Structure 1
C-alpha cells in the first residue's frame, strides 16, 4: 500500500504542485463576501486542481517549444528554493485568512470570526482537488487508450487529435446532458414542491380586490408560495394609516403564478384582466413588477412605495420560474425577459388607450433577475410616443445589457460601483447611502438603479478570469475589503462561489437591498406628496425596526 501511495505521489508534476499551492494560497484572499470554512475549502479545492493543471500546461508548452532545461545540480537547488518560497507563501496566506475574512465582516456589520478554521479548510481542499485530478487523469488515460487503438489505422498525431475531441465531447455530454440535467431536474422538483407550500399565518384573502380571493379570476391554489406571501402579507389601509397618520386605502396587488396558466402570454393576459377587474387602472400609481427567479418580490421594494402613496397604488406581476435567481441566470436568464415583456406589452397596450388625464402614472420595477427582465421592456422604440414615467431597478445582474451599456459609458471619474451618466436627467445610481442628487434636474422619465459594491450578482463576469475589474479601482465601495486583490482565474472562482451566497449577509450588503434605499429611490422616481425629511426619516426607522423583528 505504501509503495502504491509513493508511486502515485511521484506521478505528480513538481511544477504542477507548485502552481497548485500558489493557487490555493491566492484563493484564501478576500472576495466580495465572507465565506464559511466549508465553502472556502471547496473553493480552494477547485483552485488547487486548476493550479495544478495550469502548471502542467505551462510545463508541456515549455517542453513542446524545446526550451533549455536547467542542469541536474541547478535543478535540485532551484526545486529546494522553490519549495521553501511556496511553503512560506502558503503559510503566510493561511495565517492571514482569518484577518481577511474579518475585513469583510466588519464592513458588513457582522461579528468577526475567531478563526477561519485553516485545518478543516485544507482538508476539504485537498479532498476536492484529489477528486477533480483523479477524474481528469482518468479522462486523459481514456484518451490515451482510444489514441492507441486509432493509431493502428491512422497517423499518431491524427489519432491523438481525434481521441482528444472524442473525450472532450463525451465529458461535455455527460456533464451537461447527464449530471447537470439530473441536478437541474432535482432542483426544479425541490423548488417546485417548495412553491406549493404555504408559510405560517398566510390565509386566502376574502377582500374583493384581492388576487386569489372568492371573486378573483386567479385560483388561490395556483398562485404559489411567494405569490401567496405577496398577496396576503402586504400592508393594509389600517397599517398604512397607523404609520403615516393619514387617510389611506388598501393597496392593489395582482399576482399570477406559474400554475395559473401554462404560457407567459396567457399569464400576462390573465394578469391584465385581473388588474382591470380590481380597477387597478383607477389608482394614481401603477407598477409592473418582475419578480426574482423564485417568484419573490422584495417587501422592501413593494411595501415602501405603498406607504409613500397611502395605498393608492396597484402592483401587477407574473411568475416565470421556481428556481433561485443565481440558478436561473446561469441556465436560462431569458425566462425573466420573456415574462416581463409579455406582461408589459399587455398592460402598456391597454394603459395607453386610456385618457392621459385619467390613467395612472406607470412604472416598472425589478430586483436581480427581475431587473434583468424589466429593464428592457419599456424600450424607446415602443414607448417613444407615449412614454412611461420611470423605473426602480435593484441588484441588476451581470447579463443586463442596458445597465452594462450605461455603466460602461459612465462619466469620466465616476466609479463603476456608483456611476453618473451624462447629465443624470434620466438615469441615476444609488447604494447604501442616498446618492440621488436632488439639486440636479430630472427629465420626464426617471430611472434609478440601486446597487451595492459588494453584490456578486452585479459584478460577476467571465472577464474576471483574465482582466482586472474596474470596480476594484480606487475609490472602492465602502463595503469592499481593502485587502481584495485581483488574481487571474482565482478572482473569477471566488466571485463565482459568492453567487449562491449573495443573500447570506445582512440587509444593506451583498444582494440584500434595504427598504431605506428603496424609499430614496421611490421618492426620487414617483415624487409622492407630503414627505419632508422628518417624515422620510420616520418611515425609514419604521422599516428598519421591522427588519429586526
Structure 2
C-alpha cells in the first residue's frame, strides 16, 4: 500500500501555512515556564498552542489574499514549501529533544529529582489529538456560520447577513460555553468540593476544651464547620509543646473559625466570630490576628503555628470561611468573595478593638495566603485605620488580581526587580522570598509593618493577561533564583504556559511556586511582631523544629 497519497489527502484538508505556524507554536510551547510540567499537561498545553498557531496561520493567509498581495510562481512556491517543511521539521524535532533538558532546568532549581525523559513523543501525540479535536470543533462552527449566512442572506443584503450571522454564532458560543459547559463543569466541581468540605476525618473529633470553637460551650456549631476549619481548630501547637520549646510557661493559643455553612452571610459570620472572640477572652491576649483563608478555607499551618510559638501561645487567630473551592477556581468564579469576607470580619473586630483602652488591648495584625491575601490586603481601609492604626500584616502568595500588591510593585524603587521589589524607605512595606530579604533596610520600621512573601516561580502571582503581547517585568534584567535560565517570553505562548501553571502552583516543594516554607513565615512574623526576649538562636531552633 502506498501511504504517500493517503498522507497527502490528509494534509490537503489543512492549510499549509497554518500548519507551519502551528508547528512553531507547538515548538515554543515546549520551552520552560515557571513550573515543571507532567507530560499529559504539556500535551494539552501544546495542543492548544497548535490550535492557536494554526488559526493565526490561516488568518494571515486570508489577510494576504484579501490585501491582494502578489503570490509566488508555482516553481518558487513549491521550492519554498519544501524548504519550509524541512526547516519546520528540524525545529520541532530539536525542541522535542530539548524538552527534557528544559524541564530538568526547573526541577534542579527547585531541588527536585531530575526526570530521565519528558516523554516527547507522548507529548506530540496528545498535542496532535487535542489540536485535531479543537480544529474540528472550530470548523463545525464555521460550517454552521456558512449555513446560517446562506439562510439569512435570502432576506437581507450580504454584508448585513455577515454581521447578523456573526453575532448569532457568537451569542450561541457564549451561551453554550457559559450556560452549558461552564455550568456543568462548575456544578461538578462545586458538588465535589462541597462533599470534601463536609467530609469528617476519623482522626478529628469535636473539641472538649471550652476555649475551642465547636465545643459544647462554643457559640459555633461543630457540624457547621468545614473540613479545613476543623483541622485548624484541632491541630496546631499545644500549650505544652510551646512551653517545652521556649522553656517558659506558655498560654493555650486561641483559634476561632466560622464555617461558610455556619451562617448565611459574611456579615453574620463576622459578628459570630467577634462574639466567639469575646467569649474566649481573645482581647486579653497580646496578639490578635485576623486571618483570611484560601478559597478552600485552608489556613497554612506554617503561617499560623509559627506565630503562636513566637509569642508563647499568647495569641488569638480569627477566621471566617467564604468558599470551599480552590483559590484558582474561586478567582475565576467570584474573586470578590475573599474581599467581602475579609472586609466583614475586619470591620467587625476593628470596631470593637478601637473602643478598648490602648494599653489594655492586643496588637492587631492581618494575615492571608493566596486568595486570602487578596481579601486581607483590602480589608483595612487606610483612611479608616489612620486614626487608630493596626500594627501590621503578613501576606503570602498574593494572586495577580491583588490591587494593593500590584500598585506597590509598579511603584517600587527603580533599582529593584518586580519579583523582589523594595518600596520607598522600607519602613512600612517589605518583600521577602525563600531566602530572607527583610534585613535589607536594617531595623528601620515604622509603627505599621507589612510583609509580602512571594516566590519568583509563583504563577499565581506573576500571571497577567498582558503576557499575550508584552514581556513581563519579572523577565527583564536579573531574574529570580528559582526561574529557569532557559525561560523566554513568546507572545501568546508564555500566556498559555503560565495559565497552565496556575492549577499546578502548589505541586512544588516548600519554598517554590505557591508553596511557602514555615521558615519564611518565621522571618516575616519576627520582623512584623517583634517578639520580646527572642533572638537569632531561637529563630534557628524554631526553623529546625518546623523543618523536621
* TM-score (norm. length: structure 1): 0.98
Question: Does residue 1:494 correspond to 2:497, yes or no?
Answer: yes
Q: Deviations over 1:388-415 (max 9, x none)?
A: 0000000000000000000001001100
- Separation (CA, whole Å) in 2 of partners of 1:33 and 1:83: 31
Shift of 1:6: 5.6
- Separation (CA, whole Å) in 2 of partners of 1:105 and 1:260: 42
1:324 is aligned, of 320, 323, 326, to 326
Q: Determine the structure 2 residue equivalent to 1:260.
A: 262
5+ residue gaps in structure 1? none
Q: Determine the structure 2 residue equivalent to 1:301.
A: 303
Shift of 1:8: 4.9
Question: Does residue 1:229 correspond to 2:231, yes or no?
Answer: yes
Question: Does residue 1:445 correspond to 2:443, yes or no?
Answer: no
Q: Deviations over 1:249-296 (max 9, x none)?
A: 110000000110011111111101001100111100000000000000
Shift of 1:165: 1.5
Q: Deviations over 1:101-156 (max 9, x none)?
A: 00000000100000000111111111111110000000000000000111111222
| Number of residue equivalences | 545
- Separation (CA, whole Å) in 2 of partners of 1:70 and 1:151: 35
- Separation (CA, whole Å) in 1 of partners of 2:210 and 2:30: 56
- Separation (CA, whole Å) in 1 of partners of 2:527 and 2:224: 36
Q: Determine the structure 2 residue equivalent to 1:355.
A: 357
- Separation (CA, whole Å) in 1 of partners of 2:41 and 2:244: 45
Contact 1:199 1:229 (C-alpha < 8 Å) held by counterparts: no
1:114 is aligned, of 100, 111, 116, to 116
Q: Determine the structure 2 residue equivalent to 1:390.
A: 392
- Separation (CA, whole Å) in 2 of partners of 1:6 and 1:182: 40
Q: Determine the structure 2 residue equivalent to 1:415.
A: 417
Q: Determine the structure 2 residue equivalent to 1:143.
A: 145
Shift of 1:440: 4.3
2:465 is aligned, of 442, 462, 468, to 462
Q: Deviations over 1:195-228 (max 9, x none)?
A: 0112342111111110001100000011110000
RMSD: 1.3
Q: Determine the structure 1 residue equivalent to 2:280.
A: 278
Question: Does residue 1:535 correspond to 2:538, yes or no?
Answer: yes
Question: Does residue 1:68 correspond to 2:70, yes or no?
Answer: yes
Contact 1:426 1:443 (C-alpha < 8 Å) held by counterparts: yes
1:159 is aligned, of 150, 158, 161, to 161
Q: Determine the structure 1 residue equivalent to 2:99.
A: 97
Contact 1:248 1:312 (C-alpha < 8 Å) held by counterparts: yes
Shifted more, 119-128 versus 151-160: the winner is 151-160
- Separation (CA, whole Å) in 2 of partners of 1:201 and 1:522: 30
- Separation (CA, whole Å) in 1 of partners of 2:519 and 2:237: 17
Q: Determine the structure 2 residue equivalent to 1:513.
A: 516
* TM-score (norm. length: structure 2): 0.98
Q: Deviations over 1:20-51 (max 9, x none)?
A: 11000000000000000000000000001111
Shifted more, 161-170 versus 274-283: the winner is 161-170
Contact 1:366 1:372 (C-alpha < 8 Å) held by counterparts: yes
- Separation (CA, whole Å) in 2 of partners of 1:493 and 1:245: 52
- Separation (CA, whole Å) in 1 of partners of 2:201 and 2:126: 36
1:180 is aligned, of 169, 179, 182, to 182
Q: Determine the structure 2 residue equivalent to 1:482.
A: 485
3-state secondary structure, aligned to 2:480: coil
3-state secondary structure, aligned to 1:364: strand
3-state secondary structure, aligned to 2:359: coil
Q: Determine the structure 2 residue equivalent to 1:128.
A: 130
1:3-14 matches, cutoff 5 A: 7-14=9-16
Shifted more, 199-208 versus 457-466: the winner is 199-208
- Separation (CA, whole Å) in 2 of partners of 1:131 and 1:94: 22
Shifted more, 460-469 versus 149-158: the winner is 149-158
3-state secondary structure, aligned to 1:125: helix
Shift of 1:61: 1.3
- Separation (CA, whole Å) in 2 of partners of 1:153 and 1:478: 64
Shifted more, 268-277 versus 158-167: the winner is 158-167
Shifted more, 363-372 versus 77-86: the winner is 77-86
Shift of 1:4: 8.8
4+ runs deviating over 6 angstroms: 2-5
5+ residue gaps in structure 2? none
- Separation (CA, whole Å) in 2 of partners of 1:13 and 1:170: 26
- Separation (CA, whole Å) in 2 of partners of 1:411 and 1:358: 38
Q: Deviations over 1:522-545 (max 9, x none)?
A: 001000111111111010000011
3-state secondary structure, aligned to 1:357: helix
Shift of 1:5: 7.8
3-state secondary structure, aligned to 2:395: strand
